[in-house]
Amino acid sequence: MLRAAERDHHAGLPAVEAKDLVKHFGDKRAVDRVSLSVPAGSIYGLLGPNGAGKTTTLRILLGIIEPSSGTRQLLGHERPLEAARRIGYLPEERGLYPSMTAREAIAFMGALRGLPFAEARRRADALLAERGIGDWGKKLIRDLSKGMAQTVQLLGTLIHEPSLIILDEPFSGLDPINQGKLEGLIRTRAAAGATIIFSTHVIAHAERLCERIAIIAGGRVAFEGLVDEARARLRPIVRLRTRTSDGPWRPAIPADARRHGSEWVFGLPEGGPEPLLKALIDGGAGIETLAIERPGLHEAFVAIAGEAAARSMDEDSEAA
């Protein structure tokens, strides 16, 4: 029997769809005509600096707050709370009862989603054991490190095997090893049929995990689509090192090329690599190295959202 998320996928319906969402807080427009479409079974990233409107957008999608205008659907429901038991949500502000054990905290979160307590405890034990941290079960939340507590809350988010998993800045506060483990867990859940949406200000996570993203800056969606489509907005990058520093080949190098020591860096000319190679060879440039690189998501983000948003993202990453 197909899980609900898989049924939605086979029916050709997006797991999440939002159209022209607007949210005002007093005179401030925190979300400005945001439209999204998240395919069922996909890993989807909301990418933008802190304060861009990512958290507010997620809360509107979940029905935690109502939009000032616009519409949204989650798993076929226009009222998101009707789908609550099929959703797992990890908020940006973590919250666990410090006097609970890790096992009881995970089981309690399962019970909130409709699991009988006995089944929730069984699943909590299994989740801890699967990750090789079964000995955490008896530890009090107050005695766990920040990273350990975050892992416990994440397991509580997943205990009821939700069709839709929404994670708000899930990598914040985790060391690189645990970030890698979380990426693996996200891939595993997606492979099992779940739809996953996560917000992040770290471009590398979105680049490694997502097929589709929305870039949000200033409460607006600057781009929504495939990661490859975002990259395709930029020309491939050429890195060239020559034995000679000048000659009849120089006009083949674009005027906006950057020079780093003996290396030239520039966008691939419109004619492609063949005319460039011919000009370099015929002009006696003496090619030492020539590499053509696909632009990364960071370069695409800068081109789409602007230098200021990219700097803010970098500052957020350093502060995390």
pTM of the model: 0.82
Question: Do residues 283 and 167 share a domain?
Answer: no
Residues in the chain: 320
Q: Is residue 65 part of a domain?
A: yes
pLDDT-derived band at 232 (thresholds 50, 70, 90) equals: confident
Domain total of the chain: 2
Question: Do residues 223 and 269 share a domain?
Answer: no
User: Tens digit of pLDDT for each residue in 4-14?
Assistant: 444 444 446 89
Give the C-alpha distances (Å, rounded to integers) separating 66 from 25, 130, 176: 11, 38, 36
pLDDT-derived band at 95 (thresholds 50, 70, 90) equals: confident
pLDDT-derived band at 319 (thresholds 50, 70, 90) equals: low
Question: Do residues 120 and 203 share a domain?
Answer: yes
Question: Do residues 163 and 55 share a domain?
Answer: yes
Rounded distance between C-alpha atoms, residue 210 and residue 46, angstroms: 10
Q: Is residue 242 part of a domain?
A: yes
User: Tens digit of pLDDT for each residue in 30-60?
Assistant: 999 999 999 999 999 999 988 889 999 999 9
pLDDT (average), residues 266-291 = 92
User: Tens digit of pLDDT for each residue in 205-218?
Assistant: 999 999 999 999 88
Question: Do residues 99 and 247 share a domain?
Answer: no
Question: Do residues 195 and 51 share a domain?
Answer: yes
277: containing domain: 237-293
**Amino acid in position 309:** A
Question: Do residues 208 and 246 share a domain?
Answer: no
Question: Do residues 115 and 197 share a domain?
Answer: yes
Q: Where are the beta strands (DSSP E) in 205-278?
A: 212-217, 220-226, 237-242, 258-260, 263-267
- Residue 241 β-bridge partners: 263, 289
Question: Do residues 210 and 286 share a domain?
Answer: no
Q: For residue 184, what is the domain's CATH number?
A: 3.40.50.300
Count of Cβ atoms closer than 10 Å to residue 318 Cβ: 7
Give me the torsion for CA of 3, 206, 76, 51, rounded to 10°.
140
User: Tens digit of pLDDT for each residue in 293-309?
Assistant: 888 898 888 888 888 88
Which pLDDT value is given to residue 5?
45
Nearest to 292 by CA among 256, 268, 258: 268
pLDDT-derived band at 224 (thresholds 50, 70, 90) equals: very high
Question: Do residues 24 and 117 share a domain?
Answer: yes
